[in-house]
Amino acid sequence: MSVGKVVLALDGMGGDHAPDVVVDGADIARERYPGSSFLLFGDPARLKPLVDRRKGLAQVLEIVPAADAVTADDKPSFALRRRRQSSMWLAVEAAAQGRADTVVSAGNTGALLAISMVAMRMLPGAHRPALASFMPTSRGETVMLDLGANLECDADNLTQFAVMGSVFAQVLLGLSEPKVGLLNVGSEELKGHEELRQAAEWLRREGSPVSFHGFVEGNDIGTGIVDVVVTDGFTGNVTLKAIEGTAKLLMGRTGLVREAFRTSTFAKIGYLFAAGAWVKLSKRVDPRRYNGGVFLGLDGICVKSHGGTDALGFAYALGVAVDMVRYEYKSKLVEGLAKLHELTATAETPALQTGGGGA
Amino acid sequence: MSVGKVVLALDGMGGDHAPDVVVDGADIARERYPGSSFLLFGDPARLKPLVDRRKGLAQVLEIVPAADAVTADDKPSFALRRRRQSSMWLAVEAAAQGRADTVVSAGNTGALLAISMVAMRMLPGAHRPALASFMPTSRGETVMLDLGANLECDADNLTQFAVMGSVFAQVLLGLSEPKVGLLNVGSEELKGHEELRQAAEWLRREGSPVSFHGFVEGNDIGTGIVDVVVTDGFTGNVTLKAIEGTAKLLMGRTGLVREAFRTSTFAKIGYLFAAGAWVKLSKRVDPRRYNGGVFLGLDGICVKSHGGTDALGFAYALGVAVDMVRYEYKSKLVEGLAKLHELTATAETPALQTGGGGA
């Protein structure tokens, strides 16, 4: 597939506002990413009228019938066994079999992970997939993973996640040597779980495929002191949601800042003057701009959009998928993981308590 | 000790700005909490001039000489063995032996925890101490624990923390039936680690000493949907710092909101009008107001102030200590833990995978 031409498989029935948001998002992405084309999986009776309403979209989009759909309540195991004819399964399969370069779904996260693992399998050297996304910091953007694919992680997992995240930051943020930090309760070498200390020891070795900064703490995420924050899926999920919750508490429509602007006439006048600056700031921290979680480590590119996003947010998720294809995420990751394997397979010290010799 | 009269043992040499902040904080607390008196441990040559400068303070404060001090870099094990004559050790000992009702230190957290555990020991039914604090939410305040005393927690620990946090919220926030939530990656019953599911099963039982809401997610912390958020020390530490970091990123002196107000002349004028509202909001989320972490579960009341706080922040920590003594935290917790023990010791189902029969 030549650079510039990217075929995206879309789960037309996944997400709270499907299929409308999926079709409208594809229409925005069509203009933003010229050369893109789409395979849209789902119920043709519902999809065709939406596509036809958008001038020009039908030229770059093909509807592929899918008789079934994964629901938000489906357990991953159920979706895996019983939703073989769903728009999600068929879209993932298209990307796994090379008919598309990537798949994007706003549907059930657990089901998407399970189906992708079965249909795409893992890249050599990657044991488990990690869910990654990026978030705003005072310096720009930081990649964080795992955001919930693996509740418990050993040193091998964390080390591989570091490589996955580093390559993702290279591709998505255009950084040549992203700085990687391991999330911990302190920045000293002796802090934290044994798994974390082992992972840090590996990443510090000469020849490490990542530029390792060391341990970082929760408050370092927002400062952007590192470009990639690595943690286990339990901590990552809770932390990401806590950050989103705090931003909403302060900056949301009914948040404390807006509330403060309503407390007096003076404040209300102040808000009128400052409204332009406020809108600009709101845009900068707009969660839609950070939409598009990615399952890294799979032998395929699978992007998960927020279920509740709108067309603009969905288009951002499509942009993540396009960039990962164009800038050859997969082949770069394979290289990085091979380097990691060399690193952890050699010079293993018997004193180390955790098992496992890398990939 | 009659209600109203509270004797506080103070580590005069602990914290970034000791001893000044400790003495000034005591002076503020003396006015705020009439009936309080202080045993101030440390170097008399440094303490006496500071105390004498504050009119009236010497009448309610006694300086107790301590030849040594715990440093910020001391490892807990070192402080435990080698700092027996430090202001921290002697202050904790005074509270443990009943010469004071409570001890407050802004010094080394790990050392304070280790020394308190040895000098005070645990309350019956409490296996491990948990570090708790409270934080602002859109509805008021929420207690969160453990914030870093225990990196890994089993179901017994989490269940006991739930009781400790519930009693703390009763005493500090004046709630008769605080709602308690367990932090998890989803609110469904089947989500998360086995340890979490076991703890939830115990807390849901009839006769539970806490009003159990169920699982909560990271974004629920800021909404105040529960009054107490329970988690392991690793997740709690990372999450608390991530929340503080996000608030600083948005609201701090060099944060994004202030930056937005500097982007244009209009915005600057807007800021002038809104300055009053801004100051009020800043006060509401002022970290000094939420100063005072507490090690719960000890047979004694030990409050940890932030090391970098000022006199006002230190006085808030003293207020937490005073309230815990006045409202009889310890005896209420003993009752709660006894109830918990009955609950987990009886009706144990053999199908449960985690071991342990409670206290």
Could you read off the pLDDT of A123-146 as tens digits, one per residue?
999 999 999 998 888 788 899 999
Are B40 and B149 members of one domain? no
Q: In this structure, is residue A86 part of a structural domain? A: yes
Contacts of B241 in chain A (CB under 8 A): 217-219
> Do B15 and B163 belong to one domain?
no
Q: Are residues B78 and B144 in the same domain?
A: no
Same domain membership, residue B199 and residue B81: no
What are B106-116's pLDDT values in tens digits?
999 999 999 99
Q: Do B238 and A231 touch (CB under 8 A)?
A: yes
Nearest to A274 among B241, B242, B271 (CB): B271
- For residue B274, list chain A residues with Cβ-Cβ distance below 8 A: 260-261, 266-267, 270-271, 274
Name the burial class of residue B190, with classes exposed (0-12), middle (13-18) and buried (19+) by CB atoms within 10 angstroms of its CB.
Answer: exposed
| Distance in angstroms (rounded) separating the CA atoms of residues A1 and A43 | 28
Strand ranges of the sheet holding A293-296, from the earlier edge strand across to the other edge? A61-65, A36-42, A6-11, A102-105, A302-304, A293-296, A130-136, A141-145, A228-230, A179-183, A211-216
The answer to whether the CB of A215 falls within 8 A of the CB of A181 is yes
- Judged by a CB distance cut-off of 8 A, whether residue A359 touches chain B is no
Query: Among residues A105, A20, A11, A31, which one has the least CA distance to residue A311?
Result: A20
Chain B residues with beta carbon closer than 8 angstroms to that of A242: 218-219, 221-222, 239, 242-243, 246
**Span of A107-116, B117-126, B180-189 with lowest mean pLDDT:** B180-189
Q: What domain count does chain A have?
A: 1
Q: Which residues of A touch B226 (CB under 8 A)?
A: none
- For helices B311-326 and B329-345, the axis angle rounded to 10 degrees is 60
Rounded distance, CA A29 to CA B335, Å? Answer: 61
Contact: A151, B185; criterion CB under 8 Å: yes
Residue B193 in domain: yes
The percentage of residues in chain A with a pLDDT greater than 70, rounded to a whole number, is: 94
Report whether pLDDT(B349) > 70: no
- Tell whether the model's pLDDT for residue B151 goes beyond 70: yes
B93 and B150 fall within a common domain: no
Tell me whether B265 touches chain A (CB under 8 Å): no
A103 CA to chain B: closest CA distance, Å?
Answer: 25
| Greatest CA separation for chain A | 70
A349 lies in a domain? no
Q: Count the alpha carbons within 13 Å of A71 in the hemisphere toward its beta carbon.
A: 5
**C-alpha separations of A228 from A129, A163, A292, B263, B340 in Å:** 16, 10, 16, 29, 42
**B101 and B184 assigned to the same domain:** no
Does B72 lie at the interface with A, CB-CB under 8 angstroms? Answer: no
Residues forming beta bridges with residue A9, ordered by sequence position:
A39, A103
Contact with chain B for residue A278, Cβ under 8 A: yes
Task: Clarify whether residues B192 and B305 are in a common domain.
Answer: no
Q: How far is CA B285 from CA A231, A322, A346, B137, B158, in A?
A: 28, 41, 51, 9, 28
In a domain, B262, yes or no: yes
- Read off the pLDDT of residues A80-107 as tens digits, 9 standing for 90 and up: 999 999 999 999 999 999 999 999 999 9
Distance of CA B81 to the CA centre of its chain: 25
Query: Is B280 within 8 Å of chain A by CB?
Result: yes
Domain co-membership, B251 together with B144: yes
How many residue pairs bridge chain A and chain B with CB atoms within 8 Å of each other? 194
Residues 6+ apart with CB under 8 A from A40: A10, A12, A22, A23, A26, A47, A51, A61, A62, A63, A64
Determine whether the interchain pair A218/B234 forms a contact, defined as Cβ–Cβ distance below 8 Å. no
Domain that holds residue A57: 1-120
Establish if A43 belongs to a structural domain. Answer: yes
Instruction: Kindly report the nearest CA distance between residue A73 and chain B, in angstroms.
Output: 11
Whether residue B318 sits in one domain with residue B272: no
- Reply yes or no on whether the pLDDT at B352 is more than 50: no
Q: Identify the residue among B75, B246, B253, B306 best suited for mutation to test binding to A, counting A beta carbons within 10 A and taking the highest.
A: B246
In a domain, A274, yes or no: no
**Whether residues B219 and B112 fall in one domain:** no
Q: Say which CATH number the domain at B13 has.
A: 3.40.718.10
Strands lying side by side in the sheet with B61-65: B61-65, B36-42, B6-11, B102-105, B302-304, B293-296, B130-136, B141-145, B228-230, B179-183, B211-216
pTM (predicted TM-score): 0.87
**Is residue A303 assigned to a domain?**
no
- pLDDT digit string, tens, across residues B86-128: 999 999 999 999 999 999 999 999 999 999 999 999 999 999 9
Q: Could you tell me if B57 and B51 are in contact, meaning their C-beta atoms sit under 8 angstroms apart? A: yes
Q: Could you tell me if B133 and B30 lie in one domain?
A: no
Q: Which residue of A has its CA nearest to B279?
A: A260
**Chain A residues lying within 8 Å of B219, measured CB to CB:** 241-242, 244-245, 248
Chain B residues close to A184, C-beta within 8 Å: 238
- Residue B350 pLDDT level (bands cut at 50, 70, 90): very low
Does the pLDDT at position A57 exceed 80? yes
Domain-embedded: residue A144: no
Residue B67: closest CA among B45, B93, B37: B45
Q: Assess whether pLDDT exceeds 70 at residue A1.
A: no
Cα dist. B80→A179, B69, B103, B116 in Å? 37, 12, 17, 10
The residue among A248, A250, A265, A271 with the most chain B CBs within 10 A of its CB, best to mutate, is A250
Residues B159 and B229 in one domain: yes
Is the confidence at residue B34, as pLDDT, over 60?
yes
